């Protein structure tokens, strides 16, 4: 069967309404998009809302008992009609390509003093490497060489201490620590179950943010089921930006249309620039705009200014300046002001993330032997001598670094010179961790943002910024 894209969703839903339903659906892509699309699929598969209470099984892929799910899939139900099994965050398509993501999650849970979830992610990572927890504990994960780590997990060995991971693995029950290759085995068992045949009214809906297309079960679904690929290129290339913009515009216009509203064409770009590539945030902010304008059918620039508030540039300038100076009180005050003014937390995180990326690149440039950088450069020297030498041979970076007024770049270089690359990498990791928590945990967004500021100021202090 063909792989469906976002624009094909109406056709896919119509086919289900006309009685053509597959027994297995795989929905791949950005978290909000795949959950929203899966909801539409299930509403069409089980159109009677009351039937969803008895005929829909919700399964968390991170905690899935594969034996139980397979037994349910193979069994006839006592209830009439279709039985739908929805597995979110499925692990069936894991590969070494996602091992780094699992490690980052394990580190995050360990830092949050949650050893249970940290161990779970560690075990998933070991499963991908086809190595048992007992073997890796005996070998001592903290003593693995860089080459051994790379061969097992497909990414570079972390520089920090890994003693906590060794402690978690060493504390495992010996019997539980004897298994390996679990995820690959589970995917094989799913494939074999469908090849052998399951009751015709049983339907499996799998949700994943990323998949390894080489997996046997993926190929089986591609041939016998339905794959809905909602993947959006997260890069910064022209093609990626165009793809992102198309998705966000569709969400914006469709959300407003539900309330009978339209937005001025010239205001769309302002709206998207302030929110950034965050599908969930686009929907939430569009709903706020629709409520704000009341009976008026058209949304103007003034409405966007009133509801969404300041631009990302203002948030970047005020917030990053306070954090960089180690002024936690001022930073918290500015953050509260921005959020009260309607700036979405995800937009603020995107601003911080982009700023830290630029600082990291600039700091790496300062380590080049030629042209040599000095913090003592005056602005005229920086502009007329250093900057032209740095630009030479690096024309492809024009849009990233040289765009805008040279004085802004001068101040960025001065700011970056106070850090080490390690400080900036740690700060960037804190921002990404906060974004993950905001998208995937029930914690209050304000608490996540406040915690982020405290952590960032900690890294600024390590760089010598605190008074």
Identify whether 31 is part of a domain: yes
Q: Is the peptide bond before 412 cis (omega within 30 degrees of 0)?
A: no
Identify whether 51 is part of a domain: yes
Q: Per-residue pLDDT for 467 more than 70?
A: no
Q: Read off the pLDDT of each residue in 155-163 and give the average, rounded to a whole number.
A: 83
Give dist(CA 235, CA 364) in Å, integer: 21
pLDDT at 183: 47
Q: Whose CA is closest to 252, among 243, 260, 242, 262?
A: 262
Tally of domains in the chain: 3
CATH number of the domain residue 409 falls in? 1.20.272.10
Does residue 203 share a domain with residue 80? yes
Q: How confident is the model at residue 465 (pLDDT cuts 50, 70, 90)?
A: very low
Does residue 396 share a domain with residue 257? no
Does residue 193 share a domain with residue 248? no
Does residue 274 share a domain with residue 153? no
Give dist(CA 21, CA 298) in Å, integer: 39
Does residue 4 share a domain with residue 150? yes
CATH number of the domain residue 283 falls in? 1.10.8.60
Final residue of a structural domain among 308, 339, 360: 308
pLDDT at 197: 93
Identify whether 21 is part of a domain: yes
pLDDT at 99: 79
Identify whether 333 is part of a domain: yes
**pLDDT tens digits, 14-59:** 999 998 999 999 999 888 899 999 999 999 999 988 888 899 999 9
Identify whether 451 is part of a domain: yes
Does residue 220 share a domain with residue 264? no
Does residue 301 share a domain with residue 317? no
400 vs 336, residue with greater confidence: 336
pLDDT at 234: 67
Q: Read off the pLDDT of each residue in 266-278 and give the average, rounded to a whole number.
A: 84
Contacts of 195 (CB under 8 A, 6+ apart): 220
332 vs 311, residue with greater confidence: 332
Does residue 365 share a domain with residue 223? no
Q: Per-residue pLDDT for 464 more than 60?
A: no
Q: Per-residue pLDDT for 174 more than 80?
A: no
Identify whether 303 is part of a domain: yes
Residue 322 domain boundaries: 312-462
Identify whether 467 is part of a domain: no
Does residue 33 share a domain with residue 45? yes
Q: How confident is the model at residue 323 (pLDDT cuts 50, 70, 90)?
A: confident
**pLDDT tens digits, 61-90:** 877 888 899 999 999 988 888 999 999 988
Does residue 319 share a domain with residue 191? no
Length of the chain measured in residues: 467
Q: How confident is the model at residue 466 (pLDDT cuts 50, 70, 90)?
A: very low
CATH number of the domain residue 212 falls in? 3.40.50.300
Buried/exposed code over 355-388 (b: 16+ C-beta within 10 A; e: otherwise): bbebbbbbbebbeeeeeebeeebeeeebbeebbe
Q: Per-residue pLDDT for 176 more than 60?
A: no
Contacts of 368 (CB under 8 A, 6+ apart): none
The average confidence (pLDDT) of the chain is 82
Does residue 180 share a domain with residue 270? no
Long-range CB contact pairs, 248-252, < 8 A, 24+: 248/272, 248/275, 248/277, 248/279, 248/282, 250/6, 251/279, 251/282, 251/283, 251/286, 252/282, 252/286
Final residue of a structural domain among 191, 208, 231: 231
Final residue of a structural domain among 280, 308, 336: 308
Give the single-character DSSP code of 4: B
List, as one string, the DSSP characters of 11-27: HHHHHHHTT---SEEEE
pLDDT at 21: 93
Identify whether 327 is part of a domain: yes
Q: Read off the pLDDT of each residue in 120-125 and give the average, rounded to a whole number.
A: 81
Does residue 295 share a domain with residue 221? no
pLDDT at 72: 92
Most confident of 21-35, 234-248, 403-417: 21-35
pLDDT at 222: 94
């Amino acid at each position: 069967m063909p792989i469906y894209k976002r624009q094909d969703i109406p056709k896919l839903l119509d086919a289900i309404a006309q009685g053509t339903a597959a027994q297995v659906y795989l929905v791949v892509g950005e978290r909000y998009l795949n959950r929203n699309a899966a909801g539409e699929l299930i509403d069409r598969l089980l159109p009677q809302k009351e039937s969803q209470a008895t005929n829909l099984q919700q399964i968390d892929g991170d905690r899935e008992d594969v034996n139980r799910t397979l037994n349910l899939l193979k069994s006839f139900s006592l209830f009439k009609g279709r039985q739908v099994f929805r597995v979110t965050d499925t692990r069936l398509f894991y590969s070494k390509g996602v091992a780094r993501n699992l490690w980052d999650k394990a580190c995050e849970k360990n830092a949050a003093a949650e050893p249970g979830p940290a161990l779970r992610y560690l075990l998933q990572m070991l499963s991908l490497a086809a190595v048992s927890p007992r073997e890796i504990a005996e070998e001592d994960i903290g003593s693995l060489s860089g080459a051994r780590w790379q061969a097992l997990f497909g990414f570079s060995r972390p520089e920090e201490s890994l003693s906590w991971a060794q402690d978690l693995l060493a504390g495992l029950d010996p019997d539980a620590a004897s298994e390996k290759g679990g995820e690959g085995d589970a995917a094989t068992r799913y494939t074999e179950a469908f090849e052998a045949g399951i009751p015709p009214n049983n339907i499996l809906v799998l949700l994943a943010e990323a998949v390894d297309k080489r997996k046997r079960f993926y190929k089986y679904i591609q041939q016998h089921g339905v794959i809905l690929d909602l993947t959006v290129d997260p890069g910064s290339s022209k093609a990626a930006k165009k793809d992102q913009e198309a998705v966000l515009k569709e969400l914006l216009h469709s959300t407003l249309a539900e309330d009978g509203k339209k937005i001025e064409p010239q205001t769309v770009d302002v709206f998207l620039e302030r929110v950034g590539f965050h599908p969930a945030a686009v929907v939430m902010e569009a709903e706020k705009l629709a409520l704000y304008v009341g009976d008026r059918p058209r949304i103007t620039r003034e409405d966007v200014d009133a509801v969404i508030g300041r631009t990302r540039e203002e948030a970047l300038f005020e917030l990053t300046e306070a954090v960089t100076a180690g002024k936690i009180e001022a930073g918290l005050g500015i953050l509260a002001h921005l959020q009260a003014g309607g700036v979405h937390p995800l937009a603020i995180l995107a601003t911080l993330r982009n700023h830290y990326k630029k600082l990291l690149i600039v700091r790496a440039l300062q380590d080049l032997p030629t042209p040599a950088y000095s913090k003592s450069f005056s602005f005229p020297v920086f502009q007329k001598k250093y900057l032209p030498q740095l630009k030479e041979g690096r024309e492809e970076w024009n849009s990233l670094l040289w765009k805008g007024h040279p004085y802004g770049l001068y101040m960025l270089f001065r700011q970056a010179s106070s850090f080490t690359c390690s400080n900036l990498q740690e700060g960037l990791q804190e921002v990404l961790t906060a974004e993950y928590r905001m998208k995937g945990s029930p914690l209050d967004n304000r608490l996540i943002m406040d915690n982020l500021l405290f952590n960032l100021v900690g890294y600024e202090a390590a760089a010598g910024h605190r008074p």
